[in-house]
Amino acid sequence: MATRMDLDGRPIKPITICMIGAGGFIGSHLCEKLMSETPHKVLALDVYNDKIKHLLEPDSLPWAGRIQFHRLNIKHDSRLEGLIKMADLTINLAAICTPADYNTRPLDTIYSNFIDALPVVKYCSENNKRLIHFSTCEVYGKTIGSFLPKDSPLRQDPAYYLLNEVTSPCIFGSIEKQRWSYACAKQLIERLIYAEGAENGLEFTIVRPFNWIGPRMDFIPGIDGPSEGVPRVLACFSNNLLRREPLKLVDGGQSQRTFVYIKDAIEAVLLMIENPDRANGHIFNVGNPNNEVTVRQLAEMMTKVYAKASGEPSLDSPTVDVSSKEFYGEGYDDSDKRIPDMTIINKQLGWNPKTSLWDLLESTLTYQHRTYAEAIKKSIAKPSAS
């Protein structure tokens, strides 16, 4: 492998990375990238390894020996500190991050995203190890624009919706709106990491993903996830399309979101890994402001893309409206619009996303159709036990 250079023209030295949550959607893509394009070693920690099995065996793979899987739950495993000590860098991807859980399992959500992350931060700080911590764009909460009067001309001004890592406030709903339990736990761990940096010199980078999309994302209920589970919007819609059901639009699908392709986002993470001088001490938005749509527009677009990918005609009534209370339960609340300001990541790492919304949906839905269509047909055909 030719010597690779960082952004400042210096040779990149091979490092060992302790990746917590390596078996998930983001972890699996990051492991692939690290194995195929870099000389780095990965200690892959997770409870499951289905999404990275193709990287672990057979032994004849060109990167055999550079990735080791350790099956552990960071909640209660004495091996965690030893594995962090063995590495130069720890990347923490572990989290509960499905909105349906935020108000139905708020305690699990708070424990998983704050309490369980504490030892990771502590061990990195005490052992002088660098940390890249995955947070969420949810920490911004509601936008300033959402508080303007409905008829205010200022609602057209993007400045009221653009979310900047340094200047935007974090605005959450009331305590009874338990949907904010996730964002609040994530914000508090960010504040703790930032404080460790300020007081104890912890070298850290915080990543705020804005809806990363691609193959292996989330789960399809009843096939590779709990049958009663509710994954995030894109996987919910995929599940409906695969089962030929109408797509459920919560509260009319008026919320706006931006989506970024997983492979573009992983490029950004690799730049953070390999350019510590430019990434340390920073919080980075990683999203694609050009791919902004309402959830209703997303549903319409996905219906068209899936018809093309599967060769099956769309339903006569492709969408159905449901209330958030009916879909998510009591205590749900939402943020209206989230647009990432890309100034900081652009200045520090020169990163820009490339993939259009249509292309990333085509890649994702083609993969999902190929992977799940047969399994779903079988599950539907099976007579249920009476």
Active-site residues: which are they? 182
Query: Can you tell me the distance from the alpha carbon of 121 to that of 188, in angstroms, rounded to the nearest whole number?
Result: 12
| The two structure tokens encoding residue 358 | 């249509």
Query: Can you tell me the distance from the alpha carbon of 97 to that of 212, in angstroms, rounded to the nearest whole number?
Result: 12
Preceding peptide of 58 cis, ω within 30° = yes
Q: What DSSP line would sit under 114-166, residue for residue?
A: TGGGHHHHHHHHHTT-EEEEE--GGGGBS-GGGGS-TT-GGGG-GGGTEE-TT
Query: Can you tell me the distance from the alpha carbon of 98 to that of 105, in angstroms, rounded to the nearest whole number?
Result: 10
Residue 167, classified by CB atoms within 10 Å of its CB into exposed (0-12), middle (13-18) or buried (19+), is exposed
| The two structure tokens encoding residue 160 | 């009221």
Could you write out the three-class secondary structure of 270-328? HHHHHCHHHHCCEEEEECCCCCEEEHHHHHHHHHHHHHHHHCCCCCCCCEEEECHHHHH
Q: What are residue 263's phi and psi, to 5 degrees?
A: -70, -35
| The two structure tokens encoding residue 163 | 């979310």
Report CA-CA distances (Å) from 361 to 135, 309, 320, 370.
24, 10, 21, 14
Query: Can you tell me the distance from the alpha carbon of 131 to that of 57, in angstroms, rounded to the nearest whole number?
Result: 28
Q: What is the C-alpha radius of gyration for the chain, rounded to an integer number of angstroms?
A: 21
